[in-house]
Amino acid sequence: MTISSFSRRGWLRSVVAGLTGSHWILPALARAAQAQGARRHKACILLFMNGGASQHHTFTLPEREGQFAPIRTDVPGIQISEHLPRLATQMREWTLIRSMSTGQPDHAVGRELMHTGETPSTVQRPALGNFASDQLGVADFELPNFITINGIGTSGPVFVSRPAYLHPRHAPVEIPNPDSAMDNLISGMTEGQLSDAVALLQASQRRFLAEREVPSARLQQSSHDQALRMMRSDRVRAFDVTREPRQVRDRYGDTDFGKGCLLARRLVEVGVPFVEVVYNGWDDHGDGVAARNIRMRSPVMDCAMSALVEDLKARGLLDSTLVVWMSEFGRTPNFGPGRDSSLGGGHWARAWTTALAGGGIRTGQVIGRVDARGAEPTDRPVSAQDFLATLCAILGIEYTREYETREGRPMSFLRRNARPILELLGS
Amino acid sequence: MPTAGNLRLLCSRAILLAALLVATQAVRASEPTLERDVLPILTSHCLACHGGVTQKNGLDMRTHAALMQGGKSGAVVVPGESAKSLLWRKIQSDEMPQNDNKISAANKAIVRRWIESGAKSIQVARRFNPPKSADRPASVAKKLDRIIDEKLRAAKIPPSPLADDAEFLRRVTLDITGRIPSAAEAEAFLASKDPNRRAKLIDGLLQQPEYGQNFATEWVNAFRRISMNTTGRRLGMLPDYTQKLGKALHAGRGWDELVRETLAYTGPYTKTTPEPVFTFLNFDMNAEISVPTLTGNLSQVMLGVQLQCAECHNHPYSDWKQTDFWGLAAFFKNLKIVNGGLGDQIDKKTSPGDTVAITIPGGGARNAGKKVPAKFMLGEEPKLDAAKPQRPVFADWLTSRENPFFARAYVNRTWAHFFGRGFVNPLNDFNDANPPSHPEAIDLLAGEFAASGFDVRHLVRCICLTEAYQRTSRPTPENEKDVALFSHMAVKVMSPEMLYDSLCVALEVPEIAAPDEPKLKTVDSESGPQSVRARFVRFFRGISASEDRTEYTFGVPQTLRLMNQANFKDGGKIVGRLLREHPTEPERILDTLFLNTVTRRPDAGERQKYLAFVTRQSTPQLGFNLVLWTLLNSPEFVLNR
C-alpha cells in the first residue's frame, strides 16, 4: 500500500470539507473509511453490462407504458422489474442511482467516459481499475491487482483499461473465459531448474533496461515477474471455479456472467482489489427487442448478482467490497415506434441507472429521480465524474492525486470539481 | 450556442493540445506559428463562439485563412501590428472571451508575439505537386536526413550513432519481412565487408514474398482496428485476401491500383474479396451497409482525417464542413449488398443527367433532410453519370497523383511502421491544429511515392536508407527524452504475427501448435481463421486494438504461455540439430542460438554464465533447451530494437 489508511482518511476529510464547507458529514465518512482499516484495503467488483442496459427493463421502470411489471422489494417504496425476483428480496443491500446523466450516447465514447472519466482523445488515461491497482493494490502481491473477466466479446475487446502514465504493472490481466481462467501455470521444470533459468532471464532483462529504459521493456519484465509469482503461489487456486461445490455454482448460474461473478468473488476473497466482469450483448436495438432479450437475460443477472452479494455478506466481505452494476449508458424512453426510438431501442445517456452494493455505503435507498417517461433527471443528476468520484471515495482512491506523464505533464484521475455523492457515504 | 457536450469536447481538445505543446516545447522555434502556438489558445478560449459550430459576428478562427479574412467588424489580425489587430485589443483588455475563462498573461504574450512576428502559419498546403519522376532512393534519404537533422540541431538534441550491423539486420528484417533473421542469414551479413551491404540487404528483403505478406497484413490490420474502434465488431478473417494482396505487392503492383480495385469492387463475397471494402462496410451479411460508417472509416484510413466528426455538424476545430462528409458519402449512396455480394443498386428512374446527391438523415444531425451533391473532399463537384456506379469515380479521385491526402496518409502510416511513430499522430488525424512534426519530410516522401507510381518498394527504400532509420535505439543522456524528432530509433514491439513467424524461425519449426489444440484437416488449417497461426495471433492480440507499435500489449496469460507451453521448452528442432552437427562445440551452439533469436553473439560474460548453466543441467540437450527458453522469453526477443 502506498499510503496509510490514516492519511487516506485525512484526504477524504479534506475532500468533503472542500465540498461542503462544513463538517457534518465527517463522522459518517470516518466510519466508512474505517471499514477499510480493518482489512488490507477495500475491493471492487465492477459488473459492466456492455452495450447499454435498459433501465426501463431492469431497475427503473417507467411510470407509464412500461413493458415489464414493477414488483415490490424488501425496501418499501423501491420497485424493480418483475424479472429480477431474487434481487428484489435483497434491495436493502443495494443503492440505485436513477439519475445518471452522462451525455455520451456512443458506445466507444461512453465506455471510455465511464471508465476514465473523460471522452477519448489522444491523451491516454488510466481507468478506475488501473487506479485501484495503483492505490489499493499491494506491490508484490502474488496475483494481479486488476483482473478483467469476459472482456473479449465475439467483437473483440470491449474496453481496454490502459495503465497509461501509471506503472505498466497496473495493466489488467484479461480472462476471456472463466472456465479456463489461467492456463499454462505449470512450468514443468523443477524449482531448481526454473530458478536457475530465471536468473539468466532476469539478467537479460536488466541488461536490456540498462541500455534502453523503455516502458515496453519494463512491462515485459513486470509481466514476467507477475507470471512467476503466480506460478509459485497457492492463491492461483482462486482461478479455478470448479473447486466450488456444485450447489454454489448452480446458484450463480451456469453462464459466462454467473461464472464470472463467482470467479470475481473467489479472487476478491484471496485479496485481489479490483475485478471487472463484463456481460456482453446489451445493445438491444429495435421495437420490443429490449423487452424480448432482457426477459432472457434477467434470470442470468438475477442469479449471479444476488448470489454474489449473498456470498460476500456470508463471508463478512460485503462491507469491504463494493459491487457496481453499470453500462456505458442507458436506453431511450418511449419516443414512439422505431429501431432507435422505441422503449429501450436506442442509446440514452441523459437519464439512466446504475446500482451499487456493499463497500460500507448506505444502501436500501435511491439516489436521484427522473421524469415520468424516464427521459430527464428531475433531481440530483450524476455525471460520470461525480459517479467515479463516488466510487473512489468509497474505495479510498485519491482521485485528485497528481501523477506525471512521461513528458512531465501533471495529471490526475478526475477533475477537482468532481463531486462524490455524499448521501451514499454515511451509514 | 455550443452545447455542454461541445464545450466538453473543446475542453478535452484543449488538454490534448496543451500536452502537445509540452511535448514539443523543446523544439519550438523562436518564431511562433498559428498552428503550433496560437491555435491551442484560441481552441480553449475562442472557438466555442468563433469556430465550426458557432461563428459570432461572422468570425471563424479555425484556420489561418479564416482569421485573415476577419469577421463583420473587419480584419482581426494585421500581421506585424498587434496594436492594429482587433484580436489583440479584445484579449488584452479581457473584453474577450466574454466568459470568466480569461486568457492568461503568458498566453496573451504568445498571441502578441505571433502577430508581431508576422502572423505565420505552418498549415500544410492543400495543393500538392508531386515531382514528374521519382528520385534515387539514396538521394531522397539524404534529403530526409537533412530535414530531420536540421530539426534536431534547432532543438539542440544530438542524434544517437548508427546501429551496428547486427542491430540493423534484425530491425530491417523484422520491419520488412515480419520475421527475425536466421543465424545463417546473420552470419552471412555480419561477415560481409561490402560497403553497400545495407542497401543490398534492403533490396534483397524487398524481393522476398514475406515482404508482400507483411505489408498486406499491416494494411488489413489497420482497417480491422478502425472498424473495431468504431463499431466494436470484429470481422471475419479472410487470410486469402491478405495473401492475395501480399502477392500483388510482391509482384510490384502500384498501391493506387490495388486501392482502386478494392474500392470499386463489385461482385460476390468470396474468400478473395478485397477485405478492406468489407471491413469498412462493417460487413455483416445480415446488416445494412452504413454509408456514414463507411465514409468515416474510409476517410480515416485512406485520407488520414477524422471527417466523421462532420457527420452531424461542421467540425468544431478543423474546417471540415458537414458537406465535405456527406459529399463524400454521396459516392457510396447506391452501395448495397446484392445477392450476398457487393453491388450498386441504382434507381431505374435515374437518368444520366441527374445530380448524384445524398440526403442527410434525421436523428440529431444538423441540416437533416438537406440534399448534398457528391463532392470530392475540399474539392469540386465532379460531373457524374447518375445512372452508373460512382465508386470508380471516387476511387480515381482518391488515388490520383494530385490528391495530397492519399499519398500523405499512406506515407505517414508506413513511416510509423518503421519508426514507431508517424509525422502526424494519431496516424489518422491530419488537421490544421495537429501539424506534422516534419512537414517537409512528409511531403517529400508523399511526392516521391506519387511520382514512383505509388511503388511501395520505392517508399520503403527511401525510408530504410536514411541515417535516421539506421540509428541505434540506444539513447544518449542528451536525447533520451526525445520521442518525436527521431534522434534515436524507437524500440518497437513485435506484432502477434511477427512473434509467431519469428518463433518459427527461432525454433526451426514450420508451425507451433499448443499441445491441446485440435488438428484441423480442412483447407482452412493452413491459413484459415482456425489455423494454428491464426489462433496464436488471436490469443496474443489479446485486449489490444492499439496502433502504437511501442506499446507492449502482451499480458500475463500470454507471458505464461511463452514460459510454460511445451513448445518453448523442448528446444524445437534446432537444439537437436546443433547437438548432432557440433557435438563437441558448445560455444558454437550457444553462438548460433543467440544469433538465431536475438541476432547477436553473447558477450564474454554471458558466454561464461550460459555455458556454466548448461553444464549444471542433466544433459546438454536439456541445458540448451533451457538456454533457448530464456532467449525466447527475454525482452530482446520480443522487442524490435
Q: In chain B, which residues have their Cβ closer than 8 Å to the Cβ of A213?
A: 480
**Distance separating alpha carbons of residues B480 and A75, to the nearest angstrom:** 61
Average pLDDT value for residue range A347-358: 97
| Residue B626: band (very low, low, confident or very high) from pLDDT cuts 50, 70, 90 | very high
> What is the spatial distance between Cα B276 and Cα B101, in angstroms, rounded to a whole number?
45
- Hey, what amino acid is at B105? A
Q: Give the lowest-confidence range in A26-30, B89-93, B404-408, B576-580.
A: A26-30
Res B288: pLDDT:
60
pLDDT at A298: 97
Asked if residue B593 lies in contact with residue B607, where contact means CB atoms within 8 angstroms, the answer is no
Q: Rounded to whole angstroms, how far apart are CA atoms B180 and B493? A: 13
User: What are the start-end ranges of the E strands in B432-571?
Assistant: 492-493
pLDDT in tens, B324-345: 899 999 999 888 877 767 788 8
The rounded percent of chain A whose pLDDT value lies above 90 is: 68
Minimum distance, in Å, between the CA of residue B539 and any CA atom of chain A: 10
For residue B542, the model assigns a pLDDT of: 62
Are the beta carbons of A340 and B363 separated by less than 8 Å?
Answer: yes
- Least confident span in B228-232, B453-457, B463-467: B228-232
Of B523 and B623, more confident = B623
Give the pLDDT score at B7: 38
Lowest mean pLDDT among A34-48, A362-376, B23-37: B23-37
- Pick from B23, B545, B563: CB nearest A156: B545
Rg (CA), chain B: 27
Tell me, what's the pLDDT at B279? 60
A220 in Cβ contact with B639 (< 8 Å) = yes
Spell out the domain ranges in chain B. Answer: 4-116, 492-640
Lookup: cell for A34: 474505517
Q: Which amino acid is at B392?
A: P
Tell me what the mean pLDDT of segment A62-88 comes to: 96
Sort out which chain A residues have CB atoms less than 8 A from B16's CB and list them.
121-123
Distance CA A238, CA A48 (A): 21
Binned at pLDDT 50, 70 and 90, residue B284 comes out as very low
Chain B residues with CB-CB distance to A142 below 8 A: none
Q: Is B183 or B219 the better-scoring residue by pLDDT?
A: B183
Out of B5, B565, B639, closest to residue A103 by CB: B5
Q: Per the CB < 8 Å rule, is B569 touching A405?
A: no
Q: How far is A159 from chain B (nearest CA, A)?
A: 8
SS3 B511: coil
Closest chain B CA to residue A123? B16
Contact residues on chain A for B480, CB-CB shorter than 8 A:
213
Map residue A276 onto helix, strand or coil: strand
Q: What is the pLDDT of residue A19?
A: 47
More confident: A155 or B475: B475
Q: Are B564 and A168 a contacting pair at CB < 8 A?
A: no
Q: Give the integer Cα–Cα distance in Å for A236 and B11.
A: 44
Whether B278 contacts B235, CB under 8 Å = yes
pLDDT digits (tens, 9 = 90+) for A128-156: 999 999 999 988 888 999 999 998 765 55
Q: Which residue has the cell 523503455?
A: A214
Nearest residue of chain B to residue A204 (CA atoms): B634
Interface test with B, best of A212, A219, A228, A332 (most B CBs within 10 A): A212
Q: Do A230 and B556 touch (CB under 8 A)?
A: yes
What pLDDT score does A154 carry?
A: 58
Does A26 have pLDDT greater than 60?
no
pLDDT tier for residue B354 given thresholds of 50, 70 and 90: confident
Percent of chain B with pLDDT over 70: 83
Closest partner CB to B626 (pick from A122, A175, A193): A193
pLDDT averaged over every residue in chain B: 84
Residues of chain A with C-beta less than 8 angstroms from the C-beta of B228: 155-157
pLDDT over 50 (residue B522): no
Residue A209: Cβ within 10 Å count: 15
Cis amide prior to B389 (ω within 30 degrees): no
Which DSSP symbol is given to A121? -
Confidence category of residue B228, pLDDT binned at 50, 70, 90? low
pLDDT at B593: 98
Residues of A in contact with B544 (CB under 8 A): 157, 160
pLDDT of residue B408: 94
Answer yes or no: is pLDDT of B518 > 70: no
pLDDT digits (tens, 9 = 90+) for A197-210: 999 999 999 999 99
Lowest-confidence segment of A128-132, B184-188, B320-324 by average pLDDT: B320-324
The pLDDT score that the predictor gives to residue B278 is 62
Q: Could you report the predicted ipTM of this complex, rounded to two decimals? A: 0.81
- Mean pLDDT in residue range B603-624: 96
Q: What is the pLDDT of residue A1?
A: 31
Give the HSE-up count for residue B184: Cα atoms under 13 Å, Cβ half-sphere. 4
Residue B526 has pLDDT above 60, yes or no: no
Which of B473, B493, B556 has the highest number of chain A CBs within 10 A, making it the mutation to test binding with A?
B556
Among A47-51, A179-183, B3-7, the least confident range: B3-7
Distance CA B470, CA B138 (A): 13
Top mean-pLDDT range of A390-399, B37-46, B401-410: A390-399
H/E stretch holding A215: helix A215-231
Q: How far does Cα A161 stand from its chain's mean position?
A: 11
Q: Which domains does chain A have, with CATH numbers?
A: 5-180+249-425 (3.40.720.10), 182-239 (no CATH)
Strand positions, DSSP E, B243-395: 267-268, 335-338, 341-344, 357-359, 371-373
3-state helix, strand, coil in chain A (%, to 5): 40, 15, 45
Taking CA atoms, what residue in B is nearest to A206? B635
To 10 degrees, the CA torsion angle through A345, A348, A351, A356?
80
Q: Which residues does chain A have within 8 Å of residue B231's beta carbon, measured at their own beta carbons? A: 155
Question: Which residues of chain A are within 8 Å of residue B545 when distances are taken between CB atoms?
Answer: 156-157, 160
Query: Does A155 contact B232 at a Cβ distance shorter than 8 Å?
Result: yes
pLDDT tier at B294, thresholds 50, 70, 90: confident
- Helix (H) / strand (E) element for A278: namely strand A274-279
| Residue A88 clears pLDDT 60, i.e. is over it | yes
Return the pLDDT at B552.
87
Q: Convert the pLDDT of each residue in B100-116 to its tens digit.
A: 778 888 888 888 988 88
End-to-end CA distance of chain A: 26
- d(CA B203, CA B138) in angstroms, rounded, equals 12
Check pLDDT > 60 for residue B26: no
Cα B173 from chain centroid (whole Å): 19
d(CA B544, CA B6): 29
Residue A14 contacts B, CB cutoff 8 Å: no
